Amino acid sequence: MTMQWTAAMTIALLVSVSIAYECSAIEEDMDYDGYDIRSTTQVRAEDCCKDCFDTNACVLFVWTNGTCWLKSSTSGKRSRAFGKRVGYVHRSDQCGPILDNTDYTYYYSVDLGSTFQSRAEACCSDCANWYGCAAWVWYNDSVWMKNGVAGTGTCYLKSLDAAMSNRSKTARPGRRAAELLHPLWTRPSITFPSRTSDSSSGVPTSILVALGFGVFVACMAWCYKYCPSENTPPATPNFRLTRECASVAVDGSVLPLTWFNEPDESGSPRAIPFQEKLATTLIYFTHTVMTTTKFNLHRDALWTESLEALLLIRPESFASKTKIKFLGEDGVDAGGIQREWYSLMAHAFLDHELFVVHANRMLGLNPLVADPTHFLALGRFLARAIIDGQVLPLSLTAPLFKALLGTPLSIHDVRYIDEMTYKSLLFVRDTDCIEALDLDFTWTLPDGRSVELVAGGADVAVTSANQAEYVACLVRYWLFDSVRTPLEHVVRGFYDVVDPVVIANFDYKELELVLCGTTDINVVEWQFETVVTANLTASPALAWFWDVVERDMQQHDRAKLLQFTTGSARVPLQGFKALTGHDGNLCPFTLRGVPYTKGAMPKVQTCFNRILLPLYPSRKLMREALFVLVNMEIQDFTMQ
């Protein structure tokens, strides 16, 4: 009887406990695309709130003409949707109560990212779906988004450490905050070794192995032997054709396990999402970088004093946070002055000609700079920007990011430097009449000087027997030998500051996003400014393409797709209409439909900002192909 009574009381208690919820004020003339769960009928928009709460996974509703459209995501917001009304639900079973005038500012609190939401109640869903997020803070700071959505608030998404200590909670007028009750994430399987005192001195030497002739030739030979043919599809979405070579370049041993998670059911390694890598890296730096280095600078001597500070910093302070003080000014660096310094120094490196502008408007290293220590400072500057969470206004070329990662380069990377040379190399590689070209193992520089690619190269004729070696020597010269000194110093300076095992989690496209950020890519503008061929316009494949880009891809996926096609993850300041080709002339983003054959992959023509898109018979095939594209290395079967 006692057990029955206890059970009855327990059931009664559970039934009596209801999960509370809060509804935001109604927003007028707003809409959200997609993510519909179901619909209900209500005369008033305010009555949709309970319907949303009673529906599993519902976080907001859109009311129009008596119908409540219940939605599972805060993505796809659109303004100027006249007659439509939107409300958000804050569920107490997902997030704790919203605390007014509260912020999380504890030292270990990490901002993982931010989203634009006009109501604090909408932040809970964003936090629940952001890897690593355990708390959020909403502030009514006016923002303007390029797609025309005028918001009046930002959700700042905080790491697990923000919610673990009461010391992190600070009274700040106007802020609203809450914690995620059941974070939908676990500690990642990625592990980092502890940083030892001599790690900064030993690691760069092994990283620079990637710059040596031996690894380069070995990787070229491996790729000639094992690279799939033009029509061979990749084995997995994150398949790396040169991963064995890259592992040698990184640490001289085996492929770092941190590059992949455990294999999935098919036995193939699962690609770690970029958002997960970034969150893990931010948390790692939060727990390992415990010191701060203060730079006291005169604004009128910014370049010389900053350069000296970067070069003379003590080894024990290499990996430290940066605080800036401009002497003679009253400002206290709470982040804004640091951000200004990074921007000013990025432009200073440009002004002092450490970079050259390639034909595709990307920046490569300038081998004519007299003082190589400037490049050592540049490497430390880039690495400190990662630790400080700053993005730089620099459009650096892809081979530089590959060199920083120790990723072997190939003939295709020459296109980032000079498109005409790249085409010439392809012709020399593929021609059956190499003797008719009357070539030797030399290269003529623009100033007329001749460089020997091998010892005594002027006396070595290029024949069919040494044709592949000649191409490899030319590629090595363009990518390594011509910039060997500045590249060695940049890599050495970079790994003075950061542990290579941490950075090895990113591919070169992701490292560009970490260092240089990405613009808020406006899919509507992108679509409007795109040129489409007639056969694709008449096919449902066009609608499927844009539907996948808008609904299925995250911002970093879109940036990768843009980078894959145009060579840059950023949109020009004037928008998509200002995209240029390899010759600097305006060249719109173009989709050209091509016949579909089983297993066909999209191909890109970067010099024309063009994707050759097979006319896939289903949206599923389109989605699979696009996600393979943004997660793979550029190879013959994806590039023309």
Look up residue 211 and give its amino acid: L
Give the whole-angstrom CA distance, residue 285 versus residue 276.
Answer: 14
> Of 48, 95, 127, 607, which is the active-site residue?
607
Give the whole-angstrom CA distance, residue 158 versus residue 106.
Answer: 11
Helix (H, G, I), strand (E, B) or coil at 131: coil
Look up residue 335 and give its amino acid: G
Active site residue 124: no
Residue from 484, 509, 497, 402 nearest 203 by CA: 497
**Cα–Cα–Cα angle for 348, 349, 353, rounded to 5 degrees:** 110
DSSP string, 510-560: HHHHHHH------HHHHHHT-EE-HHHHTSHHHHHHHHIIIII--HHHHHH
Quote the tokens at residue 457: 């190269």
Give the whole-angstrom CA distance, residue 150 versus residue 29.
Answer: 12
Give the whole-angstrom CA distance, residue 75 versus residue 68.
Answer: 17
Q: Hey, how many other C-beta atoms are within 10 angstroms of the C-beta on 592? A: 16
Give the whole-angstrom CA distance, residue 101 versus residue 122.
Answer: 17
Phi, psi of 95, deg, nearest 5: -125, 150
135-139 and 85-91 strand pairing? unpaired
Quote the tokens at residue 2: 């006692």
Task: Confirm if 208 and 491 have CB atoms less than 8 A apart.
Answer: yes
Task: Confirm if 274 and 513 have CB atoms less than 8 A apart.
Answer: yes
HSE at residue 519, side-chain half, CA atoms within 13 A, is 22
Task: Confirm if 52 and 70 have CB atoms less than 8 A apart.
Answer: yes
Please state, in angstroms and as integers, the Cα–Cα distance from residue 17 to each residue in 4, 5, 13, 95, following that order: 20, 18, 6, 17
| The dihedral sign for the CA sequence 556, 560, 561, 562 | positive
Which residues are CB-contacts of 476 (< 8 A; sequence separation ≥ 6)? 213, 216, 217, 453
- What DSSP character marks residue 273? P
Task: Confirm if 376 and 369 have CB atoms less than 8 A apart.
Answer: no
Helix (H, G, I), strand (E, B) or coil at 314: coil
State the DSSP H helix or E strand holding residue 207, giving kind and residue range, or none if neither: helix 199-207
HSE at residue 528, side-chain half, CA atoms within 13 A, is 10
| The dihedral sign for the CA sequence 476, 478, 482, 485 | negative
Task: Confirm if 138 and 117 have CB atoms less than 8 A apart.
Answer: yes
Look up residue 390 and give its amino acid: Q
Given phi > 0 = left and psi -120 to 50 = alpha, else beta, which region is 242? alpha
Active site residues: 607
